[in-house]
Amino acid sequence: MATKRGKRSGTKTKSTVKPKPKATAKPPVKSGRASSPAPGRRVASPAVAPARRAAPLPLLERGKALRDAIQLSKLTAPDPWSYTGRARTWLGRVERLLDRISAGVETAEMRKAIETLAAEVEGDRDFQEARRRA
């Protein structure tokens, strides 16, 4: 036998289910040692790997990376009409340096020229903005 249902109103109500709060990470438990050692006694520091410096890129790779960054910045510059002129001169300088480096002439002078150009390019506000947009 069928049972009768009560009438429903025209609006549906959603049941509100509150999400469970996420479990937070508990701080590590400290050992029962005192925070300061006994007088005259040294405490060994935890073994920490020494910080390694990243090996500098070879000069040719550094120049190619700079060239690629300048070319990308031309596409993402906030005001390309005023920026592309500067970027074009930087690209010309990088290309000349790369030609000399690829010919096998890698000297301290070349390294300094690449570093100077990189500092000039990376110090430019429009280049920084274009890099941020990329």
Domain layout of the chain by residue ranges: 59-133
Question: How far is C-alpha 55 from the chain's CA centre?
Answer: 18
Rg (CA), the chain: 32
DSSP 39: T
Predicted pLDDT of residue 91: 96
User: Vertex 56, ends 53 and 61: CA angle to 5°?
Assistant: 150
Q: What is the pTM of this model?
A: 0.57
Write out the two tokens for 21.
């709060």
| 27-34 LR contacts (CB < 8 Å, sep 24+) | none
Share of the chain above pLDDT 70, in %: 58
Residue with more model confidence, 116 or 9: 116
